[in-house]
Amino acid sequence: MKLYSGPLSLFTAKVRVALDEKGIAYELVSVPFSRARGYDPKHPEVLAINPKGQVPVLVDGPLALFDSTIILEYLEDRHPTPPLYPRDVVERARCRQLEAAADEILFPLVFELISEVFYKPAGERDEQRIARARAGIARHYDGLERRLAERPHLCGEYSVADIGYLLTVTFAANLGALLTDAHPRLQAWYGRVLARPPVAKEIAGLAGAAQQLAG
What is the contact surface with ligand GSH in residues (CB under 6 A)?
6, 9-11, 39, 53-56, 67-69, 103
Q: In the complex, what is the shortest distance from the CB of residue 41 to ligand GSH, in angstroms, rounded to a whole number?
A: 11
Question: CB of residue 177 vs ligand GSH: minimum separation in angstroms?
Answer: 18
Most distant pair of Cα atoms in the chain: their distance: 51
CB of 9 to ligand GSH, least distance (A): 4
Q: How far is the CB of 67 from ligand GSH (least distance, A)?
A: 4
On whether the CB atoms of residues 113 and 133 are closer than 8 A, the answer is yes
Torsion (CA) 82, 83, 87, 93 in degrees, nearest 10: 180
Nearer to ligand GSH, 48 or 182 (CB): 48
Considering the complex, state which of residue 54 and residue 168 has its C-beta at the smaller distance from ligand GSH.
Answer: 54
Q: How far apart are the first and last CA of the chain?
A: 31
Of the two residues 1 and 138, which places its CB atom closer to ligand GSH in the complex? Answer: 1
Q: Is 165 exposed, middle or buried (0-12, 13-18, 19+ CB in 10 A)?
A: buried
Among 96, 103, 17, 90, which residue's Cα sits nearest to residue 54? 103
Q: Which is nearer to ligand GSH, 53 or 152 (CB)?
A: 53
